[in-house]
Amino acid sequence: MDMRLRRISLFLSVALLLLFESLPLSASEPSEENRVMALAEKMDAAFKEVKDYTCDIEQIFFKDGVEDQRHHFTFYFKKKKKIRVDFSSPHSGMTVLYQGNDEEITVIPLRFLPFIRFHYSIDNPKVRTPAGQRLDQSDIGYFIEFLLKNLKTVQQGEDEYREEGSRITFQFWARDYTGGSSIEKYRLTLSKVNWFPIRIERNTREGKPIETDIVQNCRINTQLEDKLFAP
C-alpha cells in the first residue's frame, strides 16, 4: 500500500511540474511587453499632473551611424503646448518659441536683441532638427503619446528590460518618430523619481544610431509665466 501511494504521489508531482511549465507567466511575473506598457501608462498618468517643466538637454545626431552634431539647450514647456528653447550650442544665444496649435515658429537669433525676430512655418526644414523632428514633436507629452501608440500598433521585437536603482531601461520598436513608415528601434532610460525620460536612443531597425537625447536637471511645476513663451 505504501509503495502504491508513493507511486501516485510521484505521478502527481511530475504532472504538476509539467502543468506549471506550460502555463503563461503569472500576474506577478508579467512579460517584458506588459511591463513596458505598464511603465508607459505610468508615465502618461504622471505627465497629466505636470503643468510645466524645464530641462537641460543634449542632443547627439548621427549620420550613417557616425556622430555628426551635438546640440545643447534648455527646454521650457507649459501645458497647451507652449515651448521655448534657449540654445547654448551650437547656436549660442538663440531662442525659439512656439505656441500650441500655431503654424509658425518664432526665432530670436540673439536673446540680447529680442526685437530682431524671424517667423517660419513649423514645417520649414530650417527649424527642424538634423533628424527631421519638428518643434511640436519635441516635448515629453508628445513622446509618451508616441510610445503608447506604437506599443499598441507595432509588433515588438527582442526584449530588453532592466532596473538599476532609480532607473529603468527598456527597448521598444516604433515607426519613424517624424511620421514616416519605417520601423525603428528605441532604447529608453526612465527615472522612477518623476517618470521622465533620462536618455532616449533612436536607432534604425538594424541598430545604427540616428539620435540620442540626454535629459538632465528637470524642474517640474515651477509656475512658468506665459510671457516666457510670448512670440
What number is the average pLDDT over the span 42-46?
Answer: 97
Q: Which amino acid is it at 231?
A: P
- Least confident residue range of 85-99, 157-171, 194-208: 157-171
DSSP strand pairing (118-121 vs 183-191):
unpaired
Residue-wise pLDDT for 131-151, tens only, equals 999 999 999 999 999 999 999
Look at residue 4 in the predicted model and tell me its pLDDT.
52
Checking if the pLDDT of 7 tops 60, the result is no
Class (C level, CATH) for 32-229? mainly beta
d(CA 53, CA 105): 20
Q: How many CB atoms lie within 10 A of CB 15?
A: 10
**Percent of the chain predicted with pLDDT > 70:** 86
User: For residue 125, which phi and psi values (nearest 5 degrees)?
Assistant: -55, -25
d(CA 107, CA 126): 11
Look at residue 162 in the predicted model and tell me its pLDDT.
93
**Percent of the chain predicted with pLDDT > 90:** 78
Decide if 77 contacts 218 (C-beta within 8 A): no
- Strand runs labelled E in the chain: 52-63, 66-78, 82-89, 95-98, 104-108, 118-121, 161-164, 167-175, 183-191, 197-204, 209-220
d(CA 209, CA 212): 8
Residue-wise pLDDT for 183-210, tens only, equals 999 999 999 999 999 999 999 999 999 9
pLDDT band at 10 (very low <50, low <70, confident <90, very high): very low
d(CA 190, CA 140): 12
pTM for the predicted model, two decimal places: 0.84
